[in-house]
Amino acid sequence: MKPLTIGILGFFLSAGLAVAGAPEGKELFASKCAKCHGPNGEGKAAIAKMFNVTMPALASKEVQDKADADLKKVVMAGKGKMKPIADVTEKQADDVVAFVRTLK
């Protein structure tokens, strides 16, 4: 019984920590990401067409199923035609990931 209680407590604490940076992540997302991904992460069709890419909504299962570390890597290093986000610290990248998690 004790390991189960500790596991449940750990889950809720980690979930709370992940959301803790969401307000800061939302601000950073609005200033650095929304121009391509849209204010709610829905993606902008014109940008996707211009770069000839598929841009899944950030609330989609495809994106939400990715590990936090994988999403953070995209923010920090870019992926495909997406460039890394300039001048973003590790903490800020964590905050952006926390915000993306709120888009579910």
pTM for the whole structure? 0.78
For residue 53, the model assigns a pLDDT of 94
For residues 6 and 62, which has the higher predicted lDDT (pLDDT)?
A: 62
For residue 104, the model assigns a pLDDT of 85
Contacts of 94 (CB under 8 A, 6+ apart): 21, 25, 68, 72
- Average of pLDDT values for 44-72? 96
Burial of 58 (0-12, 13-18, 19+ CB in 10 A): buried
- Average of pLDDT values for 19-44? 93
For residue 6, the model assigns a pLDDT of 52
**What is the CATH T-level fold of the domain 2-101, as seen in this structure?**
Cytochrome Bc1 Complex; Chain D, domain 2 (1.10.760)
For residues 95 and 14, which has the higher predicted lDDT (pLDDT)?
A: 95
